[in-house]
Amino acid sequence: MLFVVATVFLHLQIPHEETPAKKLRLSKPSKSAALHIDLCKATNSTDALQYLLQFARKPVEAESVEGVVRILLEHYYKETDNSVRLKIASLLGLLSKTQGFSPDCIVDDAINTLSNEKSHQVLAQLLETLLIIGTQLPESPALRLRLVEVAYKHLSDTYFGVRNKCLQLLGCLGMVDAPLGKENEGAGTSLGGLRDVQSIISDYFGDQDPRVRTAALKAMLQLHERGMKIHQIIYDQACRLLTDDYEQVRSAAVQMVWVLSQLYPESIVPIPSSNEEIRLVDDAFGKISHMVSDGSWMVRVQAAKTLGSMLQVSPHFLEQTLDKKLMSDLRRKRTAHERAKELFASGEFSSGRKWADDAPKEKLDTNTVNLIASGACGAFVHGLEDEMFEVRIAAVEALCQLARSSPSFAEKCLDFLVDMFNDEIEEVRLQSIHVLREISTHITLREDQLDTVLAVLEDSSRDIREALHELLCYTNVSTKECIQLALLELLKNLNKYPTDRNSVWKCLKFLGSRHPTLVLPLVPELLSTHPYFDTPEPDMDDPAYIAVLVLVFNAAKSCPTMPALFSDHTFRHYAYLRDSLSHLVPPLRLPGRKQVYGLDSVDSGPGSGSVESAQLFLQQSLNRVSTIQNLEAPGAQDLLDLTTRDLLRLGELQTELAGAADFCATYLRCQLLLMKALQEKLWNMAVPLCLKQNVTATAAAQQILEETYKLEFLYSGLESRQVATIHHVRLQAKALQLVLTARTRQGLDLLIGSCEKFLQDVESFQRLFLTELPHLQDSFVDKLLELMPRLSSCKPVELVKILQTTLRQSGLLQLRLPEQIHRATATIIEPTGESDNPLRFTSGLVVALDIDATLEHVQDPQNTVKVQVLYPDGQSHVIHPKPGDFRKPGPHRHRLITQVYLSHTAWTEPSQIEVRLLLAYSSSSTSLTSPSKLGWSESLESLPPAEAAVEGTIPFSKAVKVFIMPKPARR
């Protein structure tokens, strides 16, 4: 009975689902009519406002917008309450933004409303609406002209909001090419002369309201963004606004001055109170530098950021920014004479670093030099010392930009950047290390500078140390002492923080390959060889010794004379390291070691050409497989088996194609499993006889299911087509399961439930992959869908029979490969699993285990990656790392550095635990729901009932064993 009801329900639902478009139209009564009724019902303004607010929450489809607008306007004219009119005005703006609606038909009405409006607020809102309409219709110059005129007419309003909006309108819509009022004879008269937008806007630079001044500057910037060339006359006005009392104005003025300095860098401007002239960009640079010591930190950030992009500035101005003592005097460098130099030399100002050096000296002629003046001087010194770290970061970034374009400046700012390594905020320290790395191509570190840089290696923050290692990879040093110093400090670092091993080695690798000639004289000392005596052979497992060897071997790569200095054990160690740490140790041409050389050449043999051939091979294998018509075809199994093996090997050989090859192999394995399960003889046997085989088939079905989840979630770069294919396999597996359940005869109720669920699955498959169905010709689903009406009405037993035959008859679905496909992988770097030293802890208490892992091609690792700890007694814990534990060192790469807490009560013997990373997935979060072409409102109402979300985890890293020894708990 229950079954019948269910089918009837399904029956009803399916046609219902097929016509979503129709349903949409029916459910929407005319918005305009409803609104009209509501507004008429409103007895007072509060009610009306409520209706409008409610109305605003729902969308209006394009075709009825105009009607709604008419009703709103009608009400607008009748309404006496300002707030209601304001709301209507804002609604008009909102409605004009509706997709597919062209607001040109309501422009006239909107403009008309302006003429009778008395309330300033409403006026401002109406202008805002006009602005929206104007921006919606960018291709209508006539309309723009009209709107600009409207704006111009209201510019003299007494309310700042109205003036603001007018200026905004002018900025967004003002004619870029034609000056306002030149062409239009009729309307031009009302404008009181022919004036262009820029001069009109610039009149408001002197407005009494700071908000209007800001709006005027912003409007001007808007014009610039739209491609209008701002006149140079504006420059003086903008500079004056730099000293405005209000920070928004100053901030906007900084931008304005910057824009002009980029437009007219080479123009000459006079220096006030002298008869000299300088380039505009230099002048602007000086003025903006000045703003770095502004009273408001927002302005300071703005100014510091802006400085970074003024690359055309003259070098001597640039260098002033780093000097506190060289005052604005440099402006007159051309006329400056020797006396100025003496002045600095005589130390008029004390530096505060030496005792009593500020004892007053005889007064110098202060008229010659204008010392503590404005100008660029010391801007960065100030910025880097600022109280707010936002300003400091902005200054560091600006330094970086400027230094990249000017090697001499890079040299100069080095000391300052190095000083920033000592900042109190880690973010700033990190940023300055990164910046130094970026400009390090320009600079060669001196010994003392290197010394300061290396001091940071003792920092307890891992990020800082790794950034510094990265920096050292790119650094040029000048002398062999520097190399020695760097090595020494790195070894110290290694000693203090053993976890930095990999990073330090990598750093030394680059250091060695960059400075082979500097390393050469150090080799005997480094390897502690002696001309007469044999020295003891160093411990091969000592990370410090490995570090030294990495440095030496990498230097030796481009320095053929070096191997002559090696002692015997060095060669042995080379062979060992070349094998175990091949990414750190390069292939060397060693005398008398041909075989090593030979091996290397094979390894480095495959070039880029082989990728294509591998690709071809992959494609051919797939094509070969596609010849299998039927799962029962003879020889199909062997072919699948073979191809799977080929593909796996290919993936190992060609890392570029590993993702694709693995993906295909897994898919084919699923097919193979399915094939095997179906070919079992058991299908023809009586049920009780084949219980055993039944078990293997069940296991196969289960495995296929698992594999499909791996296929779906472990690989990135899948397209909808592949996802459909994967789901198809899953459906097959489910069908298999259903058939197997039916054979066990565990009661009808259970079977009915399973059938129902299966049918739902089919249905949702159809819904999700509607667009992909044509590609699934002749497949299992295709056949199933043909039989769908019958299926949904027949009895479970019958259904199972149908499924069984369909499964066996359906063909193999060909796999189409997407462009890029990557498998998510994870490598646990730490713990290594090699350590013999057990981690000691008191049982019953907690021990922290550091985990360091690299993740590749994992999307959204913060939510998906988990750590699994497997205890010796089989218990397992899944730990979710904090989002902050993930770092992103490169594209598609993540780094997980976290701690997991282990604890177990009943633990007496030392034993090993296993740690691995899991990738969590949830089928509800897949992105395969067809891209919603439906309107945003429908998505809420007619969303299909969510498929029962399947959640699970896939292990995607090798398990690492950690040896743990408990200490007995003290009582």
Summarize as ranges the residues that interact with another protein (CB under 8 A): 156, 158, 206, 208, 245, 293, 295, 324-325, 348-356, 358, 360, 363, 366-367, 370-373, 378, 381, 384-389, 416, 419-420, 422-425, 452, 455, 458-461, 496
Q: How far is the CB of 247 from another protein (least distance, A)?
A: 10
User: Which one-letter amino acid corresponds to residue 166?
Assistant: C
Nearer to another protein among residue 206 and residue 598 (C-beta): 206
Q: How far is the CB of 392 from another protein (least distance, A)?
A: 10
Instruction: Indicate the angle between helix axes 658-679 and 636-653, nearest 10 degrees.
Output: 160
CA distances from 144 to 97, 245, 945 (A): 17, 34, 48
Backbone angles phi, psi at 966, to 5 degrees: -85, 145
Which residue is associated with the tokens 């510094």? 468
Residues forming beta bridges with residue 952, ordered by sequence position = 921
Q: How far is the CB of 785 from another protein (least distance, A)?
A: 60
Helix or strand run (H / E) with residue 69: helix 62-78
695 contacts: CB under 8 Å, gap ≥ 6: none
DSSP three-state, residue 264: coil
Which residue is associated with the tokens 């002369």? 193
Judged on CB neighbours under 10 Å (0-12, 13-18, 19+), 779 is: buried
DSSP code of residue 921: E
Nearer to another protein among residue 206 and residue 844 (C-beta): 206
Nearer to another protein among residue 151 and residue 738 (C-beta): 151
The alpha carbon of 922 is separated from its chain's Cα centroid by a whole number of angstroms, namely: 22
Cα distance between residue 169 and residue 150, in whole Å: 9
Q: How far is the CB of 273 from another protein (least distance, A)?
A: 10
Nearer to another protein among residue 351 and residue 561 (C-beta): 351
Contact criterion met (CB below 8 Å) for 109 and 117: no
Nearer to another protein among residue 293 and residue 911 (C-beta): 293
Q: How far is the CB of 458 from another protein (least distance, A)?
A: 4
Nearer to another protein among residue 17 and residue 419 (C-beta): 419
Q: How far is the CB of 462 from another protein (least distance, A)?
A: 12
Residues forming beta bridges with residue 811, ordered by sequence position = 630
Q: How far is the CB of 5 from another protein (least distance, A)?
A: 59
DSSP code of residue 971: -
| Structure token digits, residue 658 | 């590993």
Nearer to another protein among residue 314 and residue 452 (C-beta): 452
Nearer to another protein among residue 459 and residue 885 (C-beta): 459
DSSP code of residue 944: P
Q: How far is the CB of 61 from another protein (least distance, A)?
A: 44
Nearer to another protein among residue 156 and residue 908 (C-beta): 156
Cα distance between residue 338 and residue 344, in whole Å: 10
Q: How far is the CB of 355 from another protein (least distance, A)?
A: 4
Contact criterion met (CB below 8 Å) for 279 and 337: no
- State the alpha helices, DSSP H only, in 97-183: 107-116, 120-136, 141-154, 160-173
Query: Considering only CA atoms, which of 715, 684, 710, 720 is closest in space to residue 822?
Result: 715
Helix or strand run (H / E) with residue 754: helix 748-768
Nearer to another protein among residue 309 and residue 351 (C-beta): 351
The alpha carbon of 883 is separated from its chain's Cα centroid by a whole number of angstroms, namely: 14
Nearer to another protein among residue 135 and residue 293 (C-beta): 293
Planar angle of CA 243, 249, 254, nearest 5 degrees: 70
Cα distance between residue 916 and residue 281, in whole Å: 58
Cα distance between residue 16 and residue 11, in whole Å: 9
Q: Residue 706 CB: number of other CB atoms within 10 A?
A: 14
Q: How far is the CB of 207 from another protein (least distance, A)?
A: 8
Q: How far is the CB of 460 from another protein (least distance, A)?
A: 5
Secondary structure in 3-state letters for 800-866: HHHHHHHHHHCECCCCCCCCCCEECEEEEEECCCCCCCCEEEECCCCEEEEEEEEEECCCCHHHHEE
Q: How far is the CB of 466 from another protein (least distance, A)?
A: 15
Query: Considering only CA atoms, which of 751, 748, 754, 744 is closest in space to residue 691?
Result: 744
Query: Considering only CA atoms, which of 326, 323, 261 is closest in space to residue 287?
Result: 261
Nearer to another protein among residue 386 and residue 712 (C-beta): 386
Cα distance between residue 447 and residue 478, in whole Å: 8
Contact criterion met (CB below 8 Å) for 120 and 157: yes
Nearer to another protein among residue 458 and residue 537 (C-beta): 458
| Structure token digits, residue 170 | 């002018």
Instruction: Indicate the angle between helix axes 462-474 and 501-514, nearest 10 degrees.
Output: 20
Nearer to another protein among residue 397 and residue 646 (C-beta): 397
Q: How far is the CB of 384 from another protein (least distance, A)?
A: 7
Q: How far is the CB of 221 from another protein (least distance, A)?
A: 24
Q: How far is the CB of 729 from another protein (least distance, A)?
A: 50
Q: How far is the CB of 645 from another protein (least distance, A)?
A: 52
Nearer to another protein among residue 390 and residue 772 (C-beta): 390
Nearer to another protein among residue 355 and residue 533 (C-beta): 355
Nearer to another protein among residue 381 and residue 785 (C-beta): 381
Backbone angles phi, psi at 218, to 5 degrees: -65, -40
User: Which one-letter amino acid corresponds to residue 388?
Assistant: M
Cα distance between residue 432 and residue 411, in whole Å: 15
Contact criterion met (CB below 8 Å) for 962 and 849: yes
282 contacts: CB under 8 Å, gap ≥ 6: 313, 314, 317
Q: How far is the CB of 157 from another protein (least distance, A)?
A: 8
Residues forming beta bridges with residue 740, ordered by sequence position = none
Q: How far is the CB of 346 from another protein (least distance, A)?
A: 12
Nearer to another protein among residue 290 and residue 305 (C-beta): 290
